[in-house]
Each structure stands twice: as structure tokens, then as C-alpha cells.
Structure 1
Amino acid sequence: MRLNKLLPAAVILALAVAQPSWAEPVASGVPGMLFDHDVPVTMTDGLQLRVNIYRPEKPGHYPVLMLMGPYGKDTSMADAPAYKTSWAKLIAKYPDLCKTSSCRYIRFEAPDPERWVANGYIVIHADVRGAGASPGVLDPFSPRETQDYATLITWAAHQPWSPGKVGLLGTSFQAINQYQVAALKPEGLAAILPWEGAYDQYREIAYYGGILNVAWEYWWTHQVVTNQNGNADTPLVDSINGDKDTGAPLSPDVLKQNRVDPVEAVARHPFDDAYYRQRTPDGSRITVPLLDVANWTDWSTAGYLAAASKQKWLRIQTGDHMTPFYSEESLALQKRFFDHFLKGVNNGWEKEPRVAVQVRRPDGAAWRSASAWPLPGTQWQRWYLDAANDTMSPAPAAAAPAEKSYPGLGDGLTFTTAPFVEETEFTGPIGVRLWVSSSTADMDIFAAVRLIDPEGRDVTFMGNSDPNVPLGLGYLRVSHRAVDPARSTEYAPVHPHLTLEPMTPGQLYPVDVEFTEPTSIVIARGYRLALTVQGKDFGYGPGANIVRAKDYDLPNSNNSGLFFAAHPNRDPVLYGGTDTVATGGDHASYLLLPHIAARR
């Protein structure tokens, strides 16, 4: 059963109409803004979540912007150890940010309420169940948590200061749960704006190509558990009253009972089973107006493509995960969207291009508009690999039959194009088809599409969560190689991930590597593309001219993005065999690229 059941209407309505009593607003220190702190809202099982409400001082009905997350609705980014680096980067990029706002109420990956209240909105920020001031069991993205969100939305729609319309805004966690709750169709939900959030809980969060992603353990221990309700040892301080953010202290045993470690949970579910179907929404039930802002790295277009909304827009940007969210340009985009759908303002939003992409170049990026995604007129080009010469070319006859082997846990193989003789653009989904064999019963494939400058150096880009990313990263556990032909295209194969199919040692198999994100690059003359295929996490060598990830507080100092696979399920015997790639003839292996014709 997917996450799409409606809550009982009578229960929701009763909870929504019941008005909680709370104290007079806390002094906000911001002219014209009222602040209701730690307001209790009763859920369907009787538990009360705590929310903060920021609203205009002038009486009236104002549309609501809501978000719900685990990071602490009262935790200052500037003071929390987990967020100090993010705050420093934000202020460095926008040194005037705190001249137009007090910045007192900016929270991690959340909108600044001051910038919205001044424009006639109410902002509601909730601590999820089990986090911050909200008691209960902390279980990220669970059906219970999503039902809580639906209850909050309908509650807000029935408050005396609300016109009955609620929009959702936030990044990352607070974007992912927008897709989830939208599938429940709660009363009052009028528009969503998920900013760089995953959609598919199995393929974009838990397992990449069937390989367990343990990067989330760092997120869980450093950013979520520290804010667990009852954690007396938290370093987080309530920026409103100076106390702990996490409520009354609980014993270590009770704290452990009150949380569900997501990495431990997904490790028990290696296939796309009911656990993920409860957490991945049914896109056919997402019909609310939608603006999906994606990134070329880590989290991208899956939610946009899955949603059935007739009014939906897509923006794909480059750059880091958080700072673009706070720019003046982004704020203007967000306000135009919500002004149209929550206030009914005739501001021309309907004429906005349905798709806009930030096309990357080695020295920058520029926006381009389109009517659909993938971009109309995309020409899918196969670049055939040649194992005999470590090259790749768009000419299939150029590669004679050949094979090349590498240690499964070594540096793998790299195939490189000739220098491009004219400027060439590739923007859209990418894929890799390989013929492979192994000396063992399984192998993992980690594929990296790279840009190489005329001097032979890697050109890297600022990614969602890493300062140096290649053009694309793909993954596949070969025992998960089965493809659903009814749901697949050449550029987007769909692996069901329902069972294991062990390899027969020495036998060749055709496999399609899974890329969850598209790419974009305009390749200048003299530059080359490279495809690296290996059996371990991709990372740049010690001599690479890059910013080391340790400067960005990442747990894995030489990896690109939100994924790494160092985990006990990576048996070094099973995944450390001798792996082989075959090319040419009946075993054509290739990189599939989305060519965009030059504009004349």
C-alpha cells in the first residue's frame, strides 16, 4: 500500500476546528510581526506537536506557508555546531542578508519568516514528532510523520487568521516530505515548492543502483539525533529563551526506544519492498500546483516527472544545496509562485516557461527556458567504448571486439574521447550500457562522467553537497540488473530492485547503470569527456586540483555527493574480484548522452 490514504475526514475536521489555547505572542523584535512560540497542535492519536507561528501584526486573513522538519524550529544556524559552516558560507555569499532581516529566525534549510510576513504571509514551522519540542518516536519519512503533516495543514487552513490556503516551502528534508503529504490531498493544501528534495525513497535515498547508501548515518547522528526530543546532552540551544531545544530530559534507554535509525532500517530492506512503498508517494495522487527546483547533482527531476499535477514547473540549477535558496532572485521566484496560487494575484505566472535549466560551462552557467523535460529536440547519442585503446567515440565501427579487466576494489578503467573540435552541448538524462563479467557472483559498478580540460585536468563543479563533482555519477549492483521494459526508456532504465540474480563467474551480462540525476554541459573546443568505471566510490586522486571536501564538513573526504558505500554489505571477497568490461562487436558498451543542437 503506497503512501496515499486519506485520513478520516471527520477526524481531521474535528482536530482542525478545535482551537488550541496558547499564551500571548512572544515579542518578536521585528516591527509588524507577531510570534507564537511552541503552539501545541493535537494529532490524530492525541499526541501534540509544537509549532512556531510567525504572522503579520495587522489583523486579517493571510495565506500560510508551512514546513515541518527535524532540525529544530528554534535552533539558530549561526550558533549550532552542525550548521556553523553552512551559516558562514551563506553570509559570505550574501553579506547584506542580515541588513534586510534581523536573521534571528532563519533556520537550517528553512525560509526566513521575516521576509514573508512583511509580504502578507503567515509562516508556520513545526518540529516533527520526536524532534525538538515535539514528543514521540522520531521516525523520518514514516507514514505516521506524513499523517501528522496532513493534520497540521488542515488545522492551519481552519485557523481564524487563515483564508483556507496553505503552501509548503523548504529544502531537502522539508522538500521530500512535501511530495509525501501532497499525495494525501489534505484539505487546505493549495501549492507546493519542494527545493532540491528526493522523491523515490529507495533509489534516491536508501540505495543507489541497489547499493546501500550509508552517508545518511552522518546526517542522522550529527543533525537529527542531536535534536531528538528529550536529549539532555544536545549542544543545541533554544534561540528564543536560551534553554535546551529538546524538552524534558529522557534516559538514554528511552531515547533509543524513541527513535528509528534510518540506515539500520533500510539495511534490513535491501529491495524495493513495502517499507519503501509506504514512504514513496503515488505520483498520480499529486495534483496540487507544483514548482520543483532541482539540482544537477544529488536530487533532481524524479518528483516533477512523477507528479500528475497539470500545473507544474521545473527549474534545474547548479551550485550548492542551500545558499541559492536565500538569494533575492530565488525569493522573487518563490513569491511569484505563491502570490499566484495562494493569493490569486494575476502576475503572469501561468506564462512562466514550464522548464528552465541552468546550462553549465567550464567557466559559468546561463539559464535557458523550454516547454518540456527532457528538452524538446534532444538527440540521444551513443559514444561507444573501446577497451583496446581506452577511448570512446560516436562511431560504432571504431571499436573492435575487446575486453579489459580490473581489480573490483581498484581504480577501474577510464575511457576518453578525442578533443572536441567544436562547441558541443549535452543537457538531459544520461546512461551507461556495459557488457561486464566478474570472477565472483556479483560486482558493483560506480560510473563517473568527467570533463577534462586541454591540459588533462579534471574540471569539477559545485555540487549539492560537495565542492567538486563530475558531470554525472551512476551506480549498479549487477545482481540487481533486471530492467522493467514497460517502465523504461533508453535514457532512463527502471530497475525494479525486487530480487537478486547472482552472476555466473566469467559470463558476460549486459547492464544499464542507474543515474538518478541528469547533466548539463557545454563542452568547449579542445576539451574531452571521460568515463570512469570502477568498483568503489568515485574520488579524485591526491594530485587533483580541487577543494578538499573536509573544508565543507563532509564525512567522506574524497567523494562526490550524498552517497558512499563503505558498509559491511560490501563483502570484499564478493565485490573485490576481477571485473571485466567488454566492448565492440556483439558487446557494444556505450555512454548515452543527450545532445542539444547548436542554436543558429
Structure 2
Amino acid sequence: MPDDGGPRPFRTEITDGMRIEWDVPIEMDDGTVLRADVFRPVTAGPAPVIMTYGPYAKGLPFSRGYPSAWEAMARDHPDTVAGTSNRYQNWEVVDPEKWVPHGYACVRVDSRGTGRSPGRVDPFSPRETRDFHDCIEWAGTRDWSNGRVGLNGISYYAMNQWQVASLRPPHLYAICPWEGAADFYRDGSHQGGIRSTFWDNWYDMQVKTVQYGIGEAGGRNPSTGQLICGDDLLTPAELAANRTDLGADIAAHTFDDRYHRDRSAHWDAIDIPVLSCGNWGGQGLHLRGNVEGYLRAASPHKWLEMHGHAHWPLFYTDYGVALQRRFFDRYLKDEPNGWEDRPPVQLQIRHVDATFTPRGESAWPLPATRWTRLHLHTGRMLAAPEPATAGTAQFAALGDGLEFTTGPLPEQAEITGPLAAKLFISSTTTDADLFLVVRVYAPDGEEVVFQGALDPHTPVAQGWLRASHRRLDPDLSTPYRPYHPHDGAEPLQPGTVYELDIEILPTCLVIPAGYRIALQVRGRDYVHPGPAARLSNLKNDLTGCGPFLHNDDLDRPAGTYDGHTTVHTGAPHASYLLLPVIPAP
């Protein structure tokens, strides 16, 4: 019989300088009992709480569940694994051995239907968000808690911070969403209105593999000997009945409707302190939401931090832990540590050799920005002057498209901030998908790419738009950040020219003199010409866009998306790329 979630004794031990309570029950409002591990100081007295709630199984060690990511992190960032036994290192959550000695309690909750928590799996759903709210309130009212709960984690554990903060749990005092989407439609499931297949593959690889009830297939927690995925063995039919079909759910909601809004932040309700940390190379999922969150959250106390490197390591480095801890020391402990004196925008300025220079700024976009238009010209040139004569260039609508390139830059240029493009296009069919890639080339013709959040060959910037979703929201749009409501489709009349304003996600790069900037207008995902890479937790090879691909044939059916797209240039159809150029100091 399936576990009814009823109370069972939980094990307590003192080890590695911590008091650990394994598999603590937390009852939800519908009677379902979720399970949590609690790591807290041995000494008496209340402590502030760092909490995570999510589907990756609290008993699954990082090194076992994500071996290629673990090996890369330990190799490239040795400080992430120093000063700790690494016994409690889990995927995308804090290492308690780096927090408990500083007076924090760390609570990890298995979300409903995953790990050791029974129930039905429905990622990011209102049910999950209510569970998270109730777990926060549980932690904030324990006798070992000081009543202040902070949320800190990567990706999934960042995304649901925005959601639950929107419910305003009374004991939630601060959040640090590290590289996580906030708008489930625009940031996650439909970039530019084009469906991403990431969630289908992610669900198979990282959630179904730790669903409650899979028995020994989920392995055992090396610290407790418990089955990681609960003590019951469910049949395949029972497992399938206990989880939603996430890919089908997303495919059934092609527009930004209530399904997506229920899984997104509600900005006006987020009024607690926020430290939002994004990744310049996180174009598919781990960038836009952090910038939007900083700009749109109602909190008067908010900071934006932007960095590079791979998705997970920086969070665990001395740099990341010190940044997070100083923020939480201020708002969970009331320590007067001068946090508020920091610039509200803290950037790691990226260079072509993949090094970074830290710099503080007073606002986003940067106040010194010189918004610069580079017009598309016949001959595939990209240049500041508007073309004197009109021109056209056509490409196969599902192909690699066209590339417009500047000449060698006469002097160094810094590009930091949001980008956009205005394109005038026509199509031989009733719709067209536009994939924009901002590329930079060295004098020898080699493309400058970076270790992105997941893909080691990530281009400088990307943007997307389905032409039938071209209508703008006039209240939320700016010239440098077009905002589309995505609430319906307006098909194209074949051969008619349409004006498209396309959001290109923020970037940062200091480009030396002699390098060239290019805008590629494509009909499909970017592919880096070099060798592919792999990560053990991902289904597809990494060929430039990581796992964030737009390759659902049902979303892009033949007859609508396989025609030809024409880009129009020059008056009266002056297409251009808008760049945020930062003057030299």
C-alpha cells in the first residue's frame, strides 16, 4: 500500500558540528505529510533559517546524482569543496557545513511527490507554492527558529522563491534567487512565444528519476541508509498517476494564460529584501528572470548581481557564499554590516578572454548607456548610418538564416545591458519564427563564445520572437526591452511587410579594437560549429544553446513555418540592432 504520510519518528544525531534531524514530518493543509532534513547549530538558542523546497531529493548527494557537474566544479573551483566534508552537498542548495557554523539552521524539504514526500508531482503549480508557503511558516514557528526564514538556492530553488514570495508568508524575511526564471512563459516555456522542449527532457532526467515510490531504483541516502525516494514501491501505473504530464501541460497552453501566470512571480506582492543573481550566459532560463525581478519587484531593498561561469559552481564558491551570507546576516540576523552601502547593481564585467572585472553601478540599465543603432545594410553589413536605399535578403524559414557584420572596430567598446532589434520582415506563409544571435568575432575570424550556464559554447546574446506574437504591451515596453503580451496570435498576410520589435537578453562584454560584431537572423536554434559537449543530467548534446531548444515539430508545423522569410532594410523599413554601449571611463 502507498504511504499515507502519517507520522513516523525521525532520527536526530549530532555529527560534523551540527544537530541533524532527518526526515522531519511537515503536515500540509490537505493532510499530506512532506519530509524535511534540518541541519542546525548544536548550541541552544534560536537561529535564522535558510530553506529550500524542491524536487531533486534531499537524500541524493550532488556527486552521485550529477557526477559530471560535480567533477567539473571540484576541478575548476576547488574552494567549493574545501573546508567541508562534502557529505551534505546537494544539487543547487546550500552546503549546511558552510552555514550552520555561522549560526544558521538549514532546512531542505522534498516537494510533494518527490524524494521522501508522498503525493502528486506538479512542478511550480499553485499546490506546490502553497506547500512551500506552509513549510516556511512551519520553520518560522519552531522553538529553534528566530522567526526569520530566508530562501537561497539555484534554478528550481530560485524560481519558486519568486512564486512563494508573491504569497507573502509572514515569516519570510529575504530571498536570494540565484539564476532562476521568474516568468514561466517568457523566461522558461516559450521564449518569444516559441515553445522550448527543455521541460520535457528535464522532467524525464531530473524529476521522474527521484519520484516518490520508485524504491531501490532511487538509491539510498549514504548518511542514513534510508531509501531516497520513500519506503513504498509503487507500480509504473501508480507512478504515472501520481505525476502530471509536464510537457503536455505546457504544449496545451501556447499563450501566456492563467496556467503560466499561476507559475510566475506577482511583482507587486514581493516587498521583502531581494538579492537577485543572474548569469550572463544563462540565456535559456537563468538570466532574464533575475533582471526582471530586480527591476519589477516592489521591494525597496533589492540588489542585482550578474556574473559568468557555469550555472552551479559560483554559488558554492567563497565568493558566492560570502555574498549570500552577508545579505542574510543583514536581514535575518539584523547585523549592521554595511550591506545597504553596496551599489544596487553589482556586475562582473566580462572580457573576451573569459576573465571578469567587478564593478558597481547605481541602476539598470546603466546610467551612462549610449543607446546605439547598428542598421542592417545590403551586402550583409551592420553599420551605424541608416541605408540610403532599400534592400531585401531572404532565407529559408527553418534554416541558418542571414548574418550582418560590422567592420573591425576602430577602438575598444563595452556592451553591457539589455539589447533589442527592430526588424521589418515578410513571409511566404502565415507565420515565422525569428532566432536572433549577437555574435563577436576575433580578427582571425574565430567566434567569441563563453562557458554559459550550461553550454560551454554560448554566444554573446540571443533573442527570439514568433512573428504572429509581434503585438507590444505599450505600458511595459521600452525601446531597449520590448514586451509582448503573448495572449493571442495575429497571423501574417504572405508577402506583407511587418515591423517586429524583438527582445534580446542582456549581455556584457568588453570588445577589443579589431574585433567585429554580428547579428545573425535565423530560423532555428543557434549551433556552434565546434564539438558538442555533454552533462550527465541532460538528455541532449550541448551544441550552443544547452538544453534550451525549440525543436517541437508540433509547435512549428510544416506549411506554416517552413516557407521563406525576407528581411527588409533601408527606408521605409530601416531594420537595426540596438546596443547598450558604455563609454570608457
Identical counterparts, % of pairs:
42
1:477 to 453, 466, 491: 466
Amino acid across the alignment from 2:518 = A
Return the offset for 1:148.
Answer: 0.6
Q: Determine if the alignment matches structure 1 residue 385 to structure 2 residue 368.
A: no
**Other structure's SS at 2:102 match:** coil
Deviations 1:542-570 (A, max 9, x none): xx4xx522367651442324421111222
Deviations 1:209-263 (A, max 9, x none): 0000002222110111101111236344322233431111111111111111322
2:342 to 325, 329, 352: 352
Conservation of the 8 A alpha-carbon contact between 1:63 and 1:165? yes
Q: Determine if the alignment matches structure 1 residue 244 to structure 2 residue 227.
A: yes
Q: Determine if the alignment matches structure 1 residue 338 to structure 2 residue 338.
A: no
Once the two structures are superposed, the pairs formed by residues 468-507 of structure 1 within 5 Å of their partners are: 468-507=457-496
- 2:279 matched to which residue of 1? 295
Report runs of 4+ in structure 1 exceeding 6 Å deviation. Answer: none
Output the CA distance in 2 between the equivalents of 1:178 and 1:96: 27
Return the offset for 1:142.
Answer: 0.4
Once the two structures are superposed, the pairs formed by residues 429-508 of structure 1 within 5 Å of their partners are: 429-508=418-497
Amino acid across the alignment from 1:201 = F
Conservation of the 8 A alpha-carbon contact between 2:429 and 2:492? yes
Deviations 1:97-145 (A, max 9, x none): 4441010001001110011011111000000001000001110000110
**Other structure's SS at 2:151 match:** strand
Return the offset for 1:485.
Answer: 1.3
- 2:519 matched to which residue of 1? 531
**Other structure's SS at 2:440 match:** strand
Gaps of 5+ in 1: 1-19
Output the CA distance in 2 between the equivalents of 1:507 and 1:233: 60
**Other structure's SS at 1:86 match:** helix
Amino acid across the alignment from 1:196 = E
Gaps of 5+ in 2: 1-6
Amino acid across the alignment from 2:373 = R
- 2:363 matched to which residue of 1? 372
How many residues align structurally?
A: 569
Output the CA distance in 1 between the equivalents of 2:214 and 2:535: 28
Return the offset for 1:95.
Answer: 3.1
- 1:569 matched to which residue of 2? 555
Once the two structures are superposed, the pairs formed by residues 4-403 of structure 1 within 5 Å of their partners are: 22-28=9-15, 30=16, 32-80=17-65, 83-95=66-78, 97-232=80-215, 234-247=217-230, 248-296=232-280, 297-298=282-283, 299-300=286-287, 301-363=291-353, 364-386=355-377, 388-396=378-386, 398=387, 400-403=389-392
Output the CA distance in 1 between the equivalents of 2:406 and 2:200: 38
Amino acid across the alignment from 1:360 = R
Deviations 1:170-217 (A, max 9, x none): 000000111111111112111111101100011011100000000222
Conservation of the 8 A alpha-carbon contact between 2:216 and 2:227? no
Amino acid across the alignment from 2:254 = P
Output the CA distance in 2 between the equivalents of 1:561 and 1:551: 10
Deviates more, 1:247-256 or 1:296-305: 296-305
- 2:3 matched to which residue of 1? none
| TM-score, normalised with respect to structure 1 | 0.93
Conservation of the 8 A alpha-carbon contact between 2:403 and 2:519? yes
| TM-score, normalised with respect to structure 2 | 0.95
- 1:14 matched to which residue of 2? none
Amino acid across the alignment from 1:584 = G
Conservation of the 8 A alpha-carbon contact between 2:79 and 2:318? no
Conservation of the 8 A alpha-carbon contact between 2:21 and 2:38? yes
In structure 2, the CA distance between the partners of 1:151 and 1:548, relative to structure 1 (3 Å rule), is same
- 1:417 matched to which residue of 2? 406
In structure 2, the CA distance between the partners of 1:345 and 1:74, relative to structure 1 (3 Å rule), is same
Once the two structures are superposed, the pairs formed by residues 519-558 of structure 1 within 5 Å of their partners are: 519-541=507-529, 544=530, 548-550=532-534, 554=538, 555-558=540-543
**Other structure's SS at 2:109 match:** strand
In structure 2, the CA distance between the partners of 1:59 and 1:523, relative to structure 1 (3 Å rule), is same
Deviations 1:371-398 (A, max 9, x none): 1111112111110001x210110111x4
Deviations 1:34-60 (A, max 9, x none): 110000001111111100000111111
**Other structure's SS at 1:356 match:** strand
Deviates more, 1:219-228 or 1:556-565: 556-565
Conservation of the 8 A alpha-carbon contact between 1:208 and 1:514? no
In structure 2, the CA distance between the partners of 1:399 and 1:460, relative to structure 1 (3 Å rule), is farther
In structure 2, the CA distance between the partners of 1:339 and 1:22, relative to structure 1 (3 Å rule), is farther
In structure 2, the CA distance between the partners of 1:293 and 1:564, relative to structure 1 (3 Å rule), is same
Amino acid across the alignment from 1:526 = G
Conservation of the 8 A alpha-carbon contact between 1:226 and 1:236? no
- 2:4 matched to which residue of 1? none
In structure 2, the CA distance between the partners of 1:538 and 1:37, relative to structure 1 (3 Å rule), is same
Output the CA distance in 1 between the equivalents of 2:82 and 2:465: 48
- 1:582 matched to which residue of 2? 568
Return the offset for 1:335.
Answer: 1.0
Output the CA distance in 1 between the equivalents of 2:101 and 2:266: 36
Conservation of the 8 A alpha-carbon contact between 1:110 and 1:171? yes
Output the CA distance in 1 between the equivalents of 2:390 and 2:437: 23
